[in-house]
Amino acid sequence: MSTADFESRLYAALQPVDPPEELAVRVERTLVSLTELAADELEAWELSAMRDPRNWVRPVAAAAIGAGAGTALVVLRLRSRHRRRREQSSGVLDLAGRTVRDLADEARRLLPRD
């Protein structure tokens, strides 16, 4: 095998592969589901049961999973709209302001309403 042949095979093997188009939808749906399940688990949690440290695992795990999934969901949604925000903004500061406003809007959508 010559060097040129090896390089061409290596180049062909390392070509980027585009993910399936429905992957973003599936990931978002999974993150929403995880966030909702964690919120349901925390709602079912009884404060009186917290006297025993053995009962702390489920609420702590639910809080960690919910926070992680919620954060990932916000980042995924922000990232998907980044190109449009960049095209609409007039500069770096305007882009940063639009991103912060979009971040706050997405976080408000995920937080429970009382």
pLDDT in tens, 30-58: 999 998 999 888 888 777 777 888 888 88
Domain assignment present for 100: yes
Q: Which domain holds residue 89?
A: 23-110
In a domain, 16, yes or no: no
Calpha distance 98→38 (Å, rounded): 30
pLDDT of amino acid 33: 93
Domain assignment of residue 8, yes or no:
no
Count of domains in the chain?
1
Q: Which of 77, 84, 61 is nearest to 110 (CA)?
A: 77
Structural domain contains residue 11? no
Residue at 37 is within a domain: yes
- 14 belongs to a structural domain: no
Is 27 domain-assigned? yes
Per-residue CA distances from 19 to 9, 22, 46, 111 (Å): 22, 8, 42, 30
pLDDT at 112: 66
Which parts of the chain sit beneath pLDDT 50?
Answer: none
